[in-house]
Amino acid sequence: MIDHKLVYQQEAESYQRLIAREDYQGNLLPAFQKIIHLEGLDVVDLGSGTGRLAGLFLPTARSVFAFDASVHMLSVAANLFGEIGKDRWLAAGADHRAVPLPGGSADVIFSGWSFCYLVVWEGSLWESALVLGLKEITRVLRKGGMVILIETLGTGVLQPQPPEALVPYFNFLDELGFKSTWIRTDYKFNSQHEAHKLVEFFFGAEMLPNMNQAPEPILPECTGIWWSREINL
């Protein structure tokens, strides 16, 4: 089994090469724009990693605060963005349950493929960990602000097949009144060699049969989006 904690602590460059191939259709940003217009907003990106979402927000947001437990991941994001939006972008190491911002700082808070780790890594304590994270989001959001959570609904599948370990988490969000939708964010690689190397690196060899055999192979990915303006805990 792949140790994703180790990946995030030590393998940010390889991780970035993988996610740079995701959502080749360009579905993520239009899906967000149907939910909220980001122009001129103060955005917080929790679990920003190497900045895949932050890079979508920077062109139009007023400010982007990117936090991740791994400063190793954030260092790659800083190198990628360089001087782009340098006066509107700030990155720092932080846990989802302790965001280093004053209350009422954000118009919208995103967390992409990251909040789920409060469930996966906290074991039997996942529900209390998740509640703490959501309470922190509520603290940081301005009145009327929005939280948007993005999570996998299955890799290597054409229709949503949520990972079993995440089903209670998704049900919990539904019970809290989150709205949701899903999109495809498939990976498209430059070659079979690149695809095998990157897919095996993060998903394991068992995922390889789910790719097609084209010269530029595609690995399907289903992605869920949950959003809410009011979290009633």
pLDDT at 28: 98
Beta-carbon-side half-sphere exposure of residue 96 (alpha carbons within 13 Å)? 30
Q: Which of 166, 201, 177, 171 is nearest to 187 (CA)?
A: 201
Residues sharing a CB contact under 8 Å with residue 25, sequence separation 6 or more, in sequence order: 184, 185, 186
- Summarised one tens digit per residue, pLDDT across range 124-150 is 999 999 999 999 999 999 999 999 999
pLDDT at 77: 87
pLDDT at 232: 87
User: In 39-140, at which residue ranges do the beta strands (DSSP E only) sit?
Assistant: 42-46, 63-68, 89-93, 106-112
pLDDT at 104: 97
- The string of DSSP codes covering 111-149 is EES-TTHHHHTTGGGHHHHHHHHHHHHHHHEEEEEEEEE
Distance CA 223, CA 150 (A): 7
Burial label for 133, CB within 10 Å (0-12, 13-18, 19+), is buried
Confirm if 202 and 18 have CB atoms less than 8 A apart: yes
Instruction: Name residues of the chain where pLDDT drops below 70.
Output: 82-86
Tokens representing 231? Answer: 């979290």
pLDDT at 85: 60
Beta-carbon-side half-sphere exposure of residue 83 (alpha carbons within 13 Å)? 0
